[in-house]
Amino acid sequence: MTFLFPPRETPGVAISGETARFPVRRIFCVGRNYREHAKEMGSNPDRDPPFFFTKPADALVGDNETVAYPLLTKNFHYEGELVLAIGKGGTAIPASDALDHVYGYAIGNDLTRRDLQLAAREKGRPWDWGKAFDRSAVCAPIHPAARIGHLSKGTLQTRVNDQVKQSADIADMIWNVPDIIAFLSASIAIAPGDLVYTGTPAGVGPLVPGDVCTVSVEGLGTLTTRIATRESA
């Protein structure tokens, strides 16, 4: 097949202990999956069916990388999250079988242009400009479930310049990992290479140039991101 210009390389995420990388097809994100975060965003924390938004695969950023303060925003936020890496595809997957489709787990940071997200929400518009911008999907190396097992509990913590901003247990998610996969696959075919950011707990807040943001999940280590001015990045 001949292309007009060379196609971009497939984005990928490092795999802990491996030289091979995990090729990424799509990035799905669960909105408002912790009650206290839903409350702080002015939303109803009741257990409604989960909803999803997406980020482009080429928005990925690895561990210990620098992200320039993005364009257009004056309110740039961190959102520490647990990430699922899908290793087996399917549709209409029952929750009882869902863990068979998980290749592994990672730490993520769903970087957000909060002012643009909220402006879109107020007008009933999509969140893309607030969520799906360049270098907005930070992801640490994936830990295969075959080595570490499946995660259902454990402390998730976000620090900015060593000050704790978010602290919760992933057991507090409104929709757990099997439920997320069941709901997602009920409306779209998931496939190997998909990542799912599972939502963030309460305590989201701003980042500015010079900040160092560190997200940790018990059993997965840490994810570090440095924020720079656009000129120095």
pLDDT in tens, the chain (233 residues): 899 999 999 999 999 999 999 999 999 999 989 977 667 666 666 667 889 999 999 999 999 999 999 999 999 999 999 999 999 999 999 999 999 999 999 999 999 999 999 999 999 999 999 999 999 999 999 999 999 999 999 999 999 999 999 999 999 999 999 999 999 999 999 999 999 999 999 999 999 999 999 999 999 999 999 999 987 65
Residues 6+ apart with CB under 8 A from 110: 29, 55, 79, 81, 131, 136, 137, 138, 197, 200
**Model pLDDT, residue 47:** 64
Q: What is the CATH number of the domain that holds 51?
A: 3.90.850.10
Q: Is the dihedral angle over the CA atoms 217, 223, 224, 227 positive or is it negative? A: negative
**Model pLDDT, residue 161:** 98
Place of tokens 């602290």: 167
**Model pLDDT, residue 49:** 85
- Burial grade of 52 (CB within 10 A; 0-12, 13-18, 19 or more): middle
Question: CB–CB of 212/78 below 8 Å?
Answer: no
Is residue 179 included in any domain, yes or no?
yes
Is residue 119 included in any domain, yes or no?
yes
Is residue 112 included in any domain, yes or no?
yes
CA–CA separation, 165 and 111 (whole Å): 15
| Domain range enclosing 130 | 12-228
Is residue 233 included in any domain, yes or no?
no
Identify how many contiguous H helices and E strands the chain contains and give both numbers.
5, 18
Is residue 5 included in any domain, yes or no?
no
CA–CA separation, 141 and 131 (whole Å): 21
Is residue 80 included in any domain, yes or no?
yes
CA–CA separation, 157 and 218 (whole Å): 9
**Model pLDDT, residue 37:** 61
CA angle 18, 24, 26 (to 5 degrees): 155
Helix (H) or strand (E) holding 10: none
**Model pLDDT, residue 102:** 98
> With b meaning 16 or more CB within 10 Å and e meaning fewer, what string describes 9-29?
eebbbbbbeeeeebebebbbb
Sequence letter at residue 212: V
pTM of the model: 0.95
In 76-219, beta strands by DSSP E: 76-78, 80-86, 102-110, 112-113, 137-139, 143-144, 155-160, 163-169, 195-197, 205-206, 212-217
Is residue 47 included in any domain, yes or no?
yes
Q: Which residues pair with 224 in a beta bridge?
A: 214
Number of structural domains in the chain: 1
Is residue 1 included in any domain, yes or no?
no
